[in-house]
Amino acid sequence: MLADRASGILLHPTSLPGAFGAGDFGTDAYKFVDWLASTGQTYWQVLPLGEIGPGNSPYMSGSAFAGNILLIDLAELASHGWLIDEDLVPDPEFCAGRVDFARLHPFRMKRLRRAAECFFTRQPDKMRREYGEFCAAESEWLEDYALFMTISERENWREWNHWPKDLAHRDPQALYRFGKICTGETGFWKFCQWCFARQWSKLKHYANERGVRIIGDLPIFVAYQSADVWSHQELFELDEHGCPSVIAGVPPDYFSETGQLWGNPLYRWDAHKETGYAWWIARLRKALQQTDLVRVDHFRGFVAYWEIPADAPNAIIGKWEPGPGEKLFEAFEQAFPHLPIIAEDLGLITPDVLELRDKFKLPGMRVLQFAFGNGITNHFLPHHYVTNTIAYTGTHDNDTSIGWWDSVPDHERAFARQYLGIDGGVEAINWVMMRALSKSVANIVIFPMQDVLGLSSEHRMNFPGHPTGNWEWRFSWDMIKPEHTLALAEMTAEYGRSGESALK
């Protein structure tokens, strides 16, 4: 349960400024933490920190445990002598306002490989010991991850069910032989994960020391082409060839008339139950090493999930199947007594979803952009909020508040004007909405960085259902005007949201 009033900012690290094509864990991340603290913010909410997948999505990671190595600060690697000055010359084609993933990936991977080669040939004793301790501590997932990435690269990134059968089906002798002849490659992937963990841990510690806590994001599903599905095939709905028999998505909704066809394999929940949900507990434990509390994406899928035939062209054809329900969360509660989880209870929510959320006293989410379509009874309107709630103007899946206002239907705009008391005043709609949330009873309010900066639709982070052009937005420091900082700090103080918050 949430305690104390607080506020924060939603911004993925890739959206930070930085010289090397995308934001990372470098100096700009520390500067952002300082800015958050200067405005009285208690939370920095990020998207999943795992490796990106198809469409550059952080929600389709190749591992539920590994970090996104494209976030590694190259300058920090150079400080250890693993890179040289020439490695830190940016590509002149990098754009300050967008992430060009096609250009970013080879640039960073080339330098990560150089750093790893230098580390393994000239590693000092202290760093060698730290690396070895990390590999030992994380071996439960790291060994399979490193093998998976190495085989994937050798197989030209073909899906794992197209690999040689002995590797696809994890014959122990075949895996042992492969690992012995590829120690250099598996070592590279382990080195990158060590660098990610070192740098993120240092950044998180810096934030926590300044009263800023990290809200992470845990996708409910994992990608088919992932170390997790390959190494735990018995836990997923796969056929005899290792192919998904059914896949995940959601039926037609606010974002899409044909639903959303996510394509992730679904879980064999009976198999998870037999293990005492060991994989899930390990996954949540890893997430809570990286963050202070975790937003669990698509919470309703734990009550019932939309099962779609693997060959379906869209998400219209499907059926609801029961999820693990309270059994999973009882296992969580035994492992994590305070259960620092935020339930992403958006979408088609039924009473049993709310019952599960409330039984375990999990805070839910309210999104103000959803509030003005169904009259005064709409539960997204602030007068319906309860204290154990996290309220947003919009999430990463929404338009910016200004973009939403420019495109919202006339009847919603008219109701919003009436409800929010907009009578032709000079305050921009993004600040009107942020203020409405700030003075609500919700104990935590979160604002996308785009709303603080007053940005239009071209700056939105994700458009669900659109396969390309997402996850690319970045801000630059010159976008933050003194009036933005002052207004946010004053509003935060005025509504009693300055300072640290806690989960109890």
Residues tagged active-site: 297, 344, 397
Q: Coil, strand or helix: which one is 298?
A: coil
Could you tell me if 365 and 342 are in contact, meaning their C-beta atoms sit under 8 angstroms apart?
Answer: yes
CA dihedral 372, 376, 380, 384 (to 10 degrees): 160
- Tokens 């690269």 sit at which residue? 153
Q: Which backbone phi and psi does 40 adopt, to 5 degrees? A: 80, 15
Residues present in the chain in total: 504
Q: Per DSSP, what are the bridge partners of residue 260?
A: 250
Task: Specify whether the CB–CB gap between 266 and 307 falls below 8 A.
Answer: yes
Sequence letter at residue 18: G
Torsion of CA 251, 252, 254, 257, to 10 degrees: 150
By CB atoms closer than 10 A (0-12, 13-18, 19+), residue 484 is: middle
Residue 465 CB-half CA count within 13 A = 14
Closest by CA position to 143, among listed 231, 62, 69: 231
Q: Count of alpha carbons within 13 Å of 306, Cβ hemisphere only? A: 24
Pairing of β 319-322 and β 304-309: antiparallel
Alpha-carbon distance of 498 to 211, in angstroms, equals: 10
**Distances 120 to 77, 132, 184, 186 between C-alpha atoms, Å:** 13, 12, 9, 12
Residue whose structure tokens are 């969580």: 332
CA distance 218 to 284: 8
Helix (H) or strand (E) holding 307: strand 304-309
> What span, in angstroms and rounded, lies between the C-alpha atoms of 13 and 52?
13
Find, among 198, 186, 182, 262, the residue nearest to 227 by Cα.
Answer: 186
Please give the radius of gyration of the chain, using alpha carbons only, rounded to the nearest integer.
Answer: 23
Tokens, residue 307: 């099962």
Starting at the edge strand found earlier in the chain, the sheet holding 364-367 runs 341-343, 293-296, 213-218, 43-45, 6-10, 444-448, 389-392, 364-367
The answer to whether 235 and 249 are in contact (CB under 8 A) is no
The alpha carbon of 78 is separated from its chain's Cα centroid by a whole number of angstroms, namely: 28
The number of beta carbons lying within 10 Å of the beta carbon of residue 295 is: 25
